[in-house]
Copies of this chain bind each other. A is one copy, B any other.
Amino acid sequence: MFSLLKNNLFQQVKKQSTLKSFTRMSSSQIAPLDSSKLRIELNKNPKTKLPNDQLIFGQSFTDHMLTIEWNESTGWSNPEIKPYGNLSLDPSCCVFHYSFELFEGLKAYKDSKNQIRMFRVDKNMERMNKSATRICLPSFDTEELTKCIGELLKIDKDFIPEGRGYSLYLRPTMIGTTAGLGVGTPDKALLYVIASPVGPYYKTGFKAVKLEATDYATRAWPGGVGDKKLGANYAPCIKPQLEAASRGYQQNLWLFGPEKNVTEVGTMNFFVVFKDSKTGLKELVTAPLDGTILEGVTRDSILSLARERLNKDEWIISERYCTITEIVSKSKTGELLEAFGSGTAAVVSPIKAIGYDGEDIDVPLLPGEQSGPLTKQIANWIAELQYGDVESDWSRIVA
């Protein structure tokens, strides 16, 4: 393995210097990602669209996909929209061996005027570039990729399901495609976007979940890559999830460190609401972006909306760690009001209990309902923006 690393590294350094001088000579030959060069090959065998009630998240896809190849010496190739279909890759490609892979998740919506909207796509594009840079895959002009995705949406617009709660889930993905077993920076990559029509997470209102506070497995670590949307962060978390499930919990609540800081829920960010019984002040708490926490777009939306819309005399909005013992203690004194996860799929996902140290910490819900009041409020605020009922610059109209 070492020889690969070393040889490849030297080749890399050599390639980089070659590339640099080459760039200086004729930078125009290193092509940027350019939406004006998009080529389109329409699918001659269109699929039958599924009715809304048969949509399962990420199981069916639209007729087309967007692909853009990258090569270290020539840059980004012409973007292509072509029929959805298999990728053909050499079995030695670095994506299969060393996890050169990253992805994004965002949604496009049809609004009441039948316009297509993407929600906060700029945040996803920005994060995608951060993920790419972290594992030495190429970055790109985010506006150019957004335009290409817009064209994919126009071509596959009939796949965007209508109705509140329905949307088209977009999955931008980048993989390293260098063939060969050397461990080094990929000199070839493929950026592709596939799209899956999806229904509401909660078809009949919220359903609150139970989490198991997990300290025997660790999702992320300082100096690691837990803040990036890399494939590497996912496979290792499945086994702990199955273990939690075997004890009746739907998800892990990842704890960190000897102080048992609460970090994330499964693959969502975590929010908790406390109330100070002395002052009466409420506090919305989520973990700070310290390098171990995924920089969730929904997390960001929630913090922005909470800061803008919640009464400042009643609320404190905190990006700080709380420990599981703080949650236990505030539960006992009646100061634990609410908890929820946040992510693209469910927007907010209410939590009804947290299993810790052999006992369940009960989290209050509205009487006869499956969420707390803030969870419900936030879900509505965000849906209004996503479906364009309330206009904002978070919603980008594609067509």
Contacts and interface: CB of A to CB of B under 8 A. Distances in A.
A221 interface: yes
Given A236-B135, A251-B2, A344-B1, A267 B183 contact: yes
The 6 closest A-B pairs by CB, nearest first: A58-B181, A218-B223, A99-B231, A98-B234, A232-B232, A221-B221
A185 interface: yes
A96 B177 CA distance: 11
Interface stretch (A81-89, A330-338, A389-397): A81-89
B183 A238 contact: yes
Contacts of A209: 6
Given A194-B92, A251-B2, A57 B181 contact: yes
Contact of A1 (B86, B105, B239): B105
A12 interface: yes
Interface string A194-224: 1010000100000001000001111001111
Contact of A184 (B215, B216, B238): B238
Given A1-B267, A232-B236, A97 B87 contact: no
Given A136-B238, A169-B181, A181-B171, A5 B222 contact: no
A9 B181 CA distance: 34
A349 interface: yes
Copy number in the complex reads 2
A378 interface: no
A250 interface: yes
A251 to B, nearest CB: 7
A267 B9 contact: no
A297 to B, nearest CB: 11
Given A223-B218, A239-B134, A97 B103 contact: yes
Contacts of A134: 236, 239
Interface in A217-276: 217-218, 221-225, 230-236, 238-239, 241-242, 245, 250-251, 265-268
Interface in A276-303: none
A341 interface: yes
Interface string A1-37: 1111111010011000000000000000000000000
